Structure 1
Amino acid sequence: MTPVMHHSLRLSNLDSLPVSLRRYATPAASGSFRDLERLVANLSRWHDNSQFTRCLPVFYAALDPVKLSTDSPIESDAMNNAFLSLHALRKLERKHRAVFCQLWPRIWLWIAFFDTHHPEYIIDFERTPMCLVLVEILSSFTSNDAIEELVYQTVGVRAIIMEAWLLTNHSHFEDPEGHASFSKLCDVLHDIPVDNPAHFDEILDAVDGVKGVVRLVIGSIFKLYDIKDPSLSPTTLNCLTGIMAFLGNLGNKPVFCPALVAAGGASVLTTVAAASIRSSSDDLEDLNDRQYFVLLCIEALHSIIPCYRTMQTSVAAGLVRLMIYGITFPPGDDYRGVDSYRHVLTQALPASTVYHSVLLALRDELPVVDNVRETQAFKKWDMYDDWVAFEALACDRIKFMEEIERNEQTLKACTNTDCGIILEKANFKRCSHCRNAYYCSVDCQKTDWRRGDHRTACRVALLSDLANKDLTPRNLSFMRKLLHHDINAENSVLKLPTSSHYNFQALALESTVNPLVTVVDYRKGHPSAYITDANSARAEDLHKQINWDDHIARAARSGGRIELHLIRAQHGYSDNSERLLMMPQYSESPAVHQGLLDILRRDDGVANWEAEVAKLFSRCEGILKVH
């Protein structure tokens, strides 16, 4: 059934126009381009928008798809009428939303036509590119669900909006008109839905892929944000909010993360979010706008900061201040971005304290909380307990970092399993190729090479080192010492394994090919440790980060003096991404793992399991051990 024409589009409305407009409107509705030019020029002098509404039938008639033809002369009246009518419709207002629904099919057909076949088409009266015309028309109808559903189910709309973004991103913002167009573009960007892969692909295809999207986002932020004058005006904040909402609408997919990191996204997004806090006023609406913008930035950041370098960069740029700004947020979880904010505070930040470089940045930034620590808003903050837990963990790790920096003595064990002597690091020489093996003498190095251990493992060790090349020696050293402290301290995180948790008796029989592994998991900040077997741990190493064959062989030949200790640390762009690091423990005599196996091999071992394991742990405290 054909829908009833909206009353605003009926030609009879022209009869109610004043004579000065009707004299042009009537012939313009019949196809006269010169009269349409005069009508549009006269309408611009009227401050009363009701006359524009009465002229809508003229523009509706000019956009009749029957007149649309690729064979028409470029400068025919039909082409000129459609082009000028589209420009005139930029004056549509929110009150026209009902009539817009009937105008939209004609608007889109002609915009797509000009954009595809005559992208450079202009007339003397109007020179605005068609992609910007579309943006200006749509900017009057943002935040309207019915219109958004109508517009964005149209294939190709997103591509033309991206074209407009590319165009405005190359314009000069010193031009007031250019900035106004960009502001309208950001209003439209804010509401673009990306509901399925086709929408996502349409956007990427229009801007040369993921890197193109990131270039637009970061480039636009740089244009809007002046580091010499970091105050954000309401207009600038509105533009930035539209850009960040668009990025969030894309879904923060892991595919964007490498490009965002490479473009300096961690620093840029944190810096502009922190600038919005410094520019805050007492106006409630302004406060709400800035809170929303901060949450959008954190929503984008939370996918990239699990990588320790981006976390370090973000903390240095003001991430701690953004977390503390949470005391101004309304309570509850029912608003956009708060889940990401809570994830950063309760998981990403605590988990990053395993990295030395992040702790250095936190040591400089944590004192900012002193300014609000005694305020009632801080104490009543619904995330107060989460903050206290994170701050306590960070301060403990910073204290530990400072302690080991004051005492730089480092012990190492000879890599040759026949030797294994433990001395200060200065007494060893490293393998000149992989730099991972330590030897107390040339004879030990030759022995280790001849036995085939390092001959086969050296290249693999080098590849493993390359896989973790982003980790500086200082970070690796700190993680090794933290692991040693957490396992061997008085309040060790390694809990007594129960006899029923694993079939340890079966493991005792195959310990040479499937040794025990102590796993220390730092992915939630506070470590948790458990003992498992190498086959089970290996099955979880989906990306083959560990050279298991070499470690298992060395542990088997060491007679219990080498224990396999595995670190699981936060790293990567998805929730299940992690960094695995094998940091074997060398001891002067067999320790926990060998002791557990010995208990299991005794006839009465399991019967007195808890007592025997407690004695074992106590006995092992006096054994010299290094990682």
Structure 2
Amino acid sequence: MHHSLRLSNLDSLPFSLRRYATPAASGSFQDLERLIANLSRWHDNSQFTRCLPVFYAALDPVNLTTNSPIDSDAMNNAFLSLYALRKLERKHHAVFRDLWPRLWLWIAFFDTHHPEYTMGFERTPMCLILVEILSLFTSNDAIEELVYQLVGVRAMIMEAWVLTTHPNFDHPEGKALFSKLSDVLHGIPVDNHAHFDEILDAVDGVKGVVHLVIGSIFKLYDVNDTFISLTTLKCLTGIMAFLGNLGNKPVLSPALLAAGGANVFTTVAAVSIKSSSHDLEDLNDRQYFVLLCIEALQSIIPCYRAMQTSLAAGLTRLMIYGMTFPPGIEYRGALIFRQVLRQVLPASTVYHSVLLELREALPAIDDLRETLSLRKWDMYDDWAAFEALARDRVKFMEEMERTEETLKACNNTECGIILEKAKFKRCSQCHHAYYCSVDCQKTDWRRGDHRTACRAALLSDLSNKDLTHRNLSFLRKLLHYDINGENPVLRLPATSHDNFRALALHSAVNPLVTVVDYRRGRPNAYITDANSVKAEDLRKQINWDDHIARATRSGGRIELHLIRAQQGDPETSERLLMMPQYSESPAVHQGLLDILRREDGIANWEDEVKELFSRCEGILKVH
């Protein structure tokens, strides 16, 4: 037991307090009431410390029983002591280790068995008393380890959060309580699934957590506000730190996305930066908050609609300011910031909707370059690489918008004629297949398996219905340019020879696939076999059987080209899009197979491939 909790300390109290403290420690409720009333008149908190043995004795678990009358002296003493111990101070951290077991037992007891008990006071629920006490000892690792090893603590903190955000919550110290709650939220450890589940169970699941996070931000910040005070920032930081500690992004991100998290987090972070002063501590606090917001955005904005929203709310300006943060300001946040800059932002530039926002956003930050002297910061090269890519893609988008004529190929593999798009009719069901005539459509329906493929396109993720027509059209044009443009990205190094020789043996049932990976911005293209990529398609986004069958029947005129694009958590999720290339005669894939099957062998693999690529440049191709 800590020395401050020993009853012998009562001997050092002045007589005006000792006369009540001694009988109160023996269980007298009337004397405990008088002691607390007298303590409130002392400005010197040292007398409160000397009275801690009284409160410790009143919380003796021997008195804790469901059979005792609720108005017994033992119950009243414990209840009153819990209220009194809200006056603990940070300097009492050592004694708290011995106080905590008794505190928690009585708080949990009253919360479970007598939540309506007020003992004549204006009711303050036990969950709020818990928050008030715990808020005194945040950032103390030893105490946090002691507190959060107990099941139920996290649930009761969530109960307090739900209570303080309720529209009818009315408490004379409401703002101060919420500030204390944010301190506690900041430090809640979520180290395993049991901790995560306890939090979710307390607030009715993922939607409940997201409702609390978004609702609390709106409680603190009005959308019309142009300034965020340090007091408000402190509360917002606690909420965002809690969200970061929760982790489990694959579980939380869809709900945050649906609740408008992309706009909320970007907007509040941008306003916090605008509100900064020249004070170093103020600036550091705001920078830390921005990193927490970027961490929350990191798993949302890989969805292109969320990226579009975030860019409109000021994400590029936020990233520019983020580059100027001192190295090591917050290690985890800095790593995530760099990942957004290097991967998430560049990967989003394959979407037409995102490029429309970037076309407006990039010129709007030109004024910051000179102001912030960007070139001197560590992350400038990462930003410059992203900006160059974004401007190239915007330029390409504008060029494509000026190009009216689009070629299409007949979906009937027995025909495959390439003409202007206007001369084709589209399948009215799936909207994917184009035909030059009714006869070709009938043939493909009867003998070309489109009957099956059409239904699959409607029922599976293959249809990519969340993508607009403009986004799909742009992806198709970008793929075609990267494969067949002035600087084609597909390279076949000498080391790939042996791999392709093995593929050639089984190409009749396992055709080649050109994969163009845009998940890091600049395309990475390679050729592999269909079965290998099919095995990686765990979500079955592609109707592989149909595409393999059509490519096999085409005699080399249909090549399977697959896009890998960012969608969802950058570490765990991706979007797959099959965009077959139709050509007027066999092209690269068939040419590679012919080289590999040649009986006289291969004189020089790289020269052969180079000659093949050159020969295929003159072949008319469409995606």
* Bin for the TM-score computed over the shorter chain: over 0.9
Q: Deviations over 1:346-383 (max 9, x none)?
A: 00110111111111111121223312213464111100
Counterpart contact for 2:24–2:31, Cα < 8 Å: yes
Structure 2 Cα separation of the partners of residues 88 and 501 of structure 1: 79
> Which one of 569, 573, 579 corresponds to residue 569 of structure 2?
573
Q: Which residue of 1 aligns with 2:302?
A: 306
Letter in 2 for 1:415: N
Q: How does 1:446-485 map to 2 (within 5 A)?
A: 446-464=442-460, 468-485=464-481
> Which one of 326, 334, 341 corresponds to residue 330 of structure 1?
326
- Segments of structure 1 that go 5 or more residues without pairing to the other structure are none
Structure 1 Cα separation of the partners of residues 130 and 329 of structure 2: 36
Structure 2 Cα separation of the partners of residues 382 and 173 of structure 1: 47
Q: State the SS of the aligned residue for 2:290.
A: helix
- Greater displacement, 477-486 / 375-384: 375-384
Alpha carbons of 1:423 and 1:251: their partners in 2 closer, same or farther (altered >3 Å)?
same
TM normalised by structure 1 equals: 0.96
Q: Which residue of 2 aligns with 1:139?
A: 135
Q: Which residue of 2 aligns with 1:196?
A: 192
Q: Which residue of 2 aligns with 1:102?
A: 98
Structure 2 Cα separation of the partners of residues 466 and 573 of structure 1: 19
Q: Which residue of 2 aligns with 1:46?
A: 42
- Greater displacement, 25-34 / 179-188: 25-34
- Greater displacement, 345-354 / 13-22: 13-22
**CA drift at 1:91:** 0.5
Q: Which residue of 2 aligns with 1:282?
A: 278
Letter in 1 for 2:30: R
Structure 2 Cα separation of the partners of residues 176 and 365 of structure 1: 45
- Segments of structure 2 that go 5 or more residues without pairing to the other structure are none
> Which one of 209, 220, 223 corresponds to residue 224 of structure 1?
220
Q: Deviations over 1:444-489 (max 9, x none)?
A: 1111112142122211122246651111111110000000000001
Q: How does 1:105-504 map to 2 (within 5 A)?
A: 105-125=101-121, 127-170=123-166, 177-332=173-328, 335-375=331-371, 377-464=373-460, 468-498=464-494, 500-504=496-500
Alpha carbons of 1:272 and 1:209: their partners in 2 closer, same or farther (altered >3 Å)?
same
Q: State the SS of the aligned residue for 2:369.
A: coil
Q: State the SS of the aligned residue for 2:559.
A: strand
Q: Deviations over 1:372-430 (max 9, x none)?
A: 21346411110000000000000100110111111132111110111111111111111
Counterpart contact for 1:62–1:78, Cα < 8 Å: yes
Q: Deviations over 1:505-540 (max 9, x none)?
A: 343343322211111110110001111122222222
Are 2:532 and 1:540 aligned?
no
Alpha carbons of 1:426 and 1:605: their partners in 2 closer, same or farther (altered >3 Å)?
farther
Q: Which residue of 1 aligns with 2:30?
A: 34
TM normalised by structure 2 equals: 0.96
**CA drift at 1:596:** 1.6
Q: State the SS of the aligned residue for 1:493.
A: coil
> Which one of 588, 607, 613 corresponds to residue 584 of structure 2?
588
Alpha carbons of 1:123 and 1:377: their partners in 2 closer, same or farther (altered >3 Å)?
farther
Letter in 2 for 1:79: M
Q: State the SS of the aligned residue for 2:332.
A: coil
- Greater displacement, 508-517 / 195-204: 508-517
Q: State the SS of the aligned residue for 1:532.
A: strand
Letter in 2 for 1:47: H
Structure 2 Cα separation of the partners of residues 172 and 210 of structure 1: 23
Q: State the SS of the aligned residue for 1:505.
A: helix
Alpha carbons of 1:33 and 1:555: their partners in 2 closer, same or farther (altered >3 Å)?
same
Counterpart contact for 1:354–1:522, Cα < 8 Å: yes
Identity of aligned residues (%): 82
**CA drift at 1:182:** 0.5
Q: Which residue of 1 aligns with 2:5?
A: 9
**CA drift at 1:500:** 4.2
**CA drift at 1:26:** 2.5
Structure 1 Cα separation of the partners of residues 101 and 532 of structure 2: 60
Q: Deviations over 1:72-103 (max 9, x none)?
A: 11111111111110010000001111111111
Counterpart contact for 1:333–1:339, Cα < 8 Å: no
Alpha carbons of 1:234 and 1:174: their partners in 2 closer, same or farther (altered >3 Å)?
farther
Structure 1 Cα separation of the partners of residues 93 and 601 of structure 2: 80
Structure 2 Cα separation of the partners of residues 499 and 116 of structure 1: 69
Q: State the SS of the aligned residue for 2:582.
A: strand
Letter in 1 for 2:85: L
- CA RMSD after TM alignment: 1.8
**CA drift at 1:503:** 3.7
Letter in 2 for 1:447: T
Structure 1 Cα separation of the partners of residues 138 and 86 of structure 2: 14
Alpha carbons of 1:441 and 1:209: their partners in 2 closer, same or farther (altered >3 Å)?
same
